[in-house]
């Protein structure tokens, strides 16, 4: 009974075994009304949905920053068609470029900043950790400093549950970004800084749902890394509700996390998708276990053991008020990472991250992580630094 229509119309909520989370509050719309918004990573899965939601809240100006030309163009065409009355700016640039970012802040003085730009694919960042550091750490630092300099009202950093007890470079760089954001929060009163932590976002670019759909449409097999791997899941819409709610609720320095219910086994997700497409798992469509990938762990944590939880007005939102590191500690992290400029050895980055984040432990999965540049560069680094 398989049809492509069935596959296309799979309801993501059917894959999570829980009711959708609804958070909409009038005070969110009222607070955002008439503000100038800056969204980085605006053409990505999360960023574009944030822009769509802001478009419904009567923002006076929405600045959409992304470095993906085609994706930004597609977003521009969609929003001009759907919201002709909203004032947008579509700016093609990279969050690594502090000077170009400063030009944006100088011209528009955004009130709210939603920082969604990031490298997020775990195995790729294991191979190219210098890219993760430059974007996820230094790109975040650029925006944080500009938010302070231009006295933005609020700054929302979009992080990941992979930042908790990280086993991947991607998760570790997200955690370092959290530390920087919270350190500035502890020393600055003009801007309210807040972190939002997501589980896996179903349907986002690079997530398992689009991958499984393609594999099912091709007749299988559906590839799963490990039979016991579990993840917390939320939808793009839920993730954006959390971001907007956090941007209004925050008092400064908190980490906001959704109660996403029980984690879901990836293999169960695969079986459900196969059934919803009209097939029988392991009969019509095979499930193939391919081994853990570099940086992956079997389960994710939402909070570390050191973090203290605080209740909110909504039982679906949890807040962590952890021990925030000082600005001096953040500067130490930044200065140590700067010494890696010009070096392209993954192992060197992992050693440095371990020095900065004792809770980080590298996991290579079932595949060898290959150095991009070989030779004596690590020895050279040790000699220079």
At residue 369, does pLDDT exceed 60? Answer: no
Q: Span 156-160, mean pLDDT?
A: 94
Rounded Cα distance, 122 and 172, in Å: 10
What is the Cβ-side half-sphere exposure of residue 125, based on CA atoms within 13 angstroms?
A: 26
Instruction: Give yes or no for residue 204 having a pLDDT over 50.
Output: yes
Residue 349's pLDDT is what? 94
Highest mean pLDDT among 50-59, 145-154, 251-260, 284-293: 145-154
Answer whether residue 1 shows pLDDT above 60. Answer: no
In angstroms, the CA 112 to CA 35 distance is: 7
Closest Cα partner for 21 from 302, 235, 243, 256? 235
Looking only at the bridges linking them, the beta strands covering 264-265 and 230-231 are antiparallel
Q: Identify which of 191, 245, 251, 319 has the alpha carbon closest to the alpha carbon of residue 53.
A: 245
Taking the C-alpha atoms of residue 337 and residue 134, their distance in angstroms, rounded to an integer, is 9
Predicted confidence at residue 200, as pLDDT, reads 75
Report the distance separating Cα 134 and Cα 131, nearest Å: 5
**Mean pLDDT for the chain overall:** 85
Q: What is the pLDDT of residue 308?
A: 65
Work out the average pLDDT over 19-47. Answer: 83
Residue 171's pLDDT is what? Answer: 94
Tokens for 254? 């908190």
Max avg pLDDT among 43-52, 286-295, 362-371: 43-52
Distance CA 380, CA 230 (A): 41
**Gap between the Cα atoms of 240 and 311, Å rounded:** 20
pLDDT of residue 30: 81
Per-range mean pLDDT, top range of 135-144, 194-203, 204-213, 282-291:
135-144
Determine the pLDDT at residue 166.
93
Q: Across the strands, what pairs with 115?
A: 40, 157
With beta carbons less than 8 A apart as the criterion, state whether 316 and 309 touch: no
pLDDT digits (tens, 9 = 90+) for 168-190: 999 999 999 999 999 998 888 88
Q: Is residue 75 within 8 Å of residue 51, measured between CB atoms?
A: yes
- Whole-number Cα distances in Å, 138 to 180, 209, 231: 10, 31, 28
pLDDT of residue 104: 98
What confidence score (pLDDT) does residue 230 get? 85
- In this prediction, residue 254 has a pLDDT band, given cuts at 50, 70 and 90, of confident
As annotated, the active-site residues are: 162
User: Average of pLDDT values for 198-208?
Assistant: 71
> Residue range 78-99: average pLDDT?
95
pLDDT higher at 146 or 200: 146
Find which of 114-123, 194-203, 220-229, 304-313 is predicted with most confidence, using mean pLDDT.
114-123
Distance, in Å, from the CA atom of 162 to the CA atom of 169, rounded to the nearest integer, reads 10
Model pLDDT, residue 263: 79
Q: Which of 69, 59, 374, 77 is nearest to 247 (CA)?
A: 59
Q: What is the mean pLDDT of residues 304-317?
A: 68
Give the long-range contacts of residues 85-91, CB within 8 A, separation 24 or more: 86/55, 86/59, 86/62, 87/60, 87/61, 87/62, 88/61, 88/62, 88/63, 88/64, 89/61, 89/62, 89/63, 89/64, 90/42, 90/64, 91/63, 91/64, 91/65, 91/66
Answer whether residue 14 shows pLDDT above 70.
no
**Which residue matches tokens 């992956």?**
296
Whole-number pLDDT of residue 370: 45
Is residue 8 predicted with pLDDT exceeding 90? Answer: no
More reliable by pLDDT, 54 or 378:
54
CA 29 to chain centre: 24
Whether the pLDDT of residue 205 is over 80: the answer is no
Name which residue leads in pLDDT, 75 or 275.
75
User: Rounded to the nearest 5 degrees, what angle is found at the Cα of 14, between the Cα atoms of 258 and 262?
Assistant: 40
């Amino acid at each position: 009974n398989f049809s492509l229509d069935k596959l296309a119309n799979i309801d993501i909520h059917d894959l999570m075994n829980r009711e959708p989370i609804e958070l909409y509050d009038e005070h969110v719309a009222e607070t955002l009304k008439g503000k100038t918004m800056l969204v980085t990573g605006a053409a990505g899965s999360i960023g574009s949905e944030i822009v769509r939601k802001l478009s419904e809240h009567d923002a006076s100006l929405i600045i959409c920053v992304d470095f993906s030309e085609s994706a930004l163009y597609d977003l521009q065409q969609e929003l001009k068609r759907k919201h002709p009355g909203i004032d947008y700016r579509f700016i093609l640039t990279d969050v690594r470029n502090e000077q170009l970012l400063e030009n944006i802040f100088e011209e528009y003085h955004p009130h709210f900043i939603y920082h969604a730009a990031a490298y997020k694919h775990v195995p790729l960042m294991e191979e190219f950790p210098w890219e993760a550091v430059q974007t996820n750490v230094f790109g975040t630092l650029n925006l944080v400093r500009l938010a302070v300099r231009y006295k933005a009202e609020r700054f929302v950093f979009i992080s990941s549950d992979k930042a908790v007890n990280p086993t991947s470079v991607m998760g570790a760089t997200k955690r370092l970004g959290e530390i920087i954001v919270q350190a500035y929060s502890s020393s600055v009163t003009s801007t309210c800084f807040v972190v939002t932590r997501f589980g896996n976002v179903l349907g986002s670019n690079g997530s398992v749902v689009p991958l499984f759909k393609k594999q099912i449409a091709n007749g299988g097999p559906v590839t799963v890394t490990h039979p016991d791997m579990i993840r917390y899941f939320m939808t793009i819409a839920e993730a954006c509700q959390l971001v907007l709610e956090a941007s209004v609720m925050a008092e400064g320095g908190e980490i906001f996390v959704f109660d996403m219910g029980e984690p879901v086994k990836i293999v169960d997700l695969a079986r459900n998708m196969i059934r919803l497409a009209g097939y029988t798992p392991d009969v019509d469509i095979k499930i193939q276990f391919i081994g853990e990938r570099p940086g992956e762990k079997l389960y994710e944590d939402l909070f570390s053991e050191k973090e203290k939880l605080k209740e909110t007005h909504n039982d679906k939102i949890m807040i962590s008020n952890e021990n925030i590191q000082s600005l001096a500690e953040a500067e130490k992290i930044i200065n140590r990472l700067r010494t890696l400029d010009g070096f392209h050895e993954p192992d060197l980055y992992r050693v440095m991250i371990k020095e900065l984040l004792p809770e980080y432990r590298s996991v290579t999965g079932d595949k060898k992580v290959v150095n991009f540049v070989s030779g004596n560069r690590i020895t050279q680094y040790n000699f220079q630094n």
